[in-house]
Amino acid sequence: MTALDDIAAGIRDGWLVPWLGPDVLTLDGPPPIPTSTRALAERLVALAPVPGRIRGNVWSSAQYIESHQHRMTLVRLIGSIFAPRPEPNALHRWLAAIAPPLVIEGWYDSTMARAMAGRDDWGLVQAVTRNGEWKDVWYRTLTPTGEQVADETAEGWGSVIYKPHGGVEPAGSFLLSDSDYVEVLTEIDIQTPIPPVVRALRATRGFVFLGCRFRDQMERMFATQIMKRSAGPHFAVIEGDLTRNEARFLARQDIRRIDLPLDLTVERLTGAACANAPCAA
């Protein structure tokens, strides 16, 4: 068997957790929403100008808008940027049919949740900002309709979608500004912001990263902490050259890299024939 055969079997059998990065949204062509932090920063500052020195940094730009125009302005702007809804693609549909015990969606869209529509055995755990909160709250456990339920409810779901950065739907709460992440990063090493259901499920599983890059320290840090104390093995489908930091991260976390295009990988995972290129990894 090839590595992709192993990965497909691992996802189907529930011992590999698919981690969906924003690049999965590009499988059917350019999506109507940004798919990188830099592209998101460009869209955001086009709607609310910020000082030139921070325009390429989405977290600092978000902090400036939050500090100078109020958090609700930031929420409204991000809501408008992510208002277009990409259609679930072959990967989303395949995962929805399988309904793995845990799927991690690492961007602010709701595409995976919409792919799961029609099932009644799943829900979401979504990170939330602590801006304006008077109590310790790091995440909320939600039904597909957005109803908040007790965290213990997730233990009975057949499939959990975990959104470590939050999302625009269904709760409309997310981590984006510098202050959002400062709050989380002060606690993430002791795992407080990571939901108990995620900690329990990862203990006997590995991760497979699809459509993810690790060029930014924030991306590497979140992946490291969410993978902590998981059983492995881990895989990452990343085509082409790696940055030095990416290579170090993969080596440090013992993540096996699959150097193949994402579209061919998805064809193989979902059972389609590989066209005009080898599938073996």
What spatial distance separates the first Cα and last Cα of the chain, rounded to whole Å? 10
Which residues, other chains included, contact 104 with Cβ-Cβ below 8 Å and sequence gap of 6+?
17, 18, 19, 20, 161, 162, 163, 164, 207, 226
What is the phi/psi pair of residue 46, to 5°?
-70, -25
Q: Which residue positions in the chain have pLDDT lower than 50?
A: 1, 272-281
Provide the H-helix boundaries in the chain.
3-13, 37-47, 58-69, 71-81, 90-98, 111-115, 178-185, 196-202, 217-227, 244-252, 262-269
The model's pLDDT over 245-256, given as tens digits with 9 standing for 90+, comes to 999 999 999 999
pLDDT for position 278: 41
pLDDT for position 137: 86
Contact at 8 Å (CB) between 215 and 207?
Answer: no
Identity of residue 159: S
Contact at 8 Å (CB) between 210 and 237?
Answer: yes
What is the phi/psi pair of residue 116, to 5°?
-85, -5
Q: Which two tokens stand for residue 32?
A: 């109507």
Dist CA 6 CA 237 (whole Å): 13
Dist CA 102 CA 225 (whole Å): 16
Reported as type and span, the H/E element at residue 17 is strand 16-20
In the 3-class helix/strand/coil scheme, how is 152-199 assigned residue by residue? HHHHHCCEEEEECCEECCCCCEECCCHHHHHHHHCCHHHCCCCCHHHH
Q: What is the CATH number of domain 3-33+83-269?
A: 3.40.50
Where in the chain are the domains? 3-33+83-269, 39-81
pLDDT for position 280: 41
pLDDT for position 132: 58
pTM for the structure as a whole:
0.93
Q: Which two tokens stand for residue 219?
A: 């991306």
Dist CA 61 CA 200 (whole Å): 35
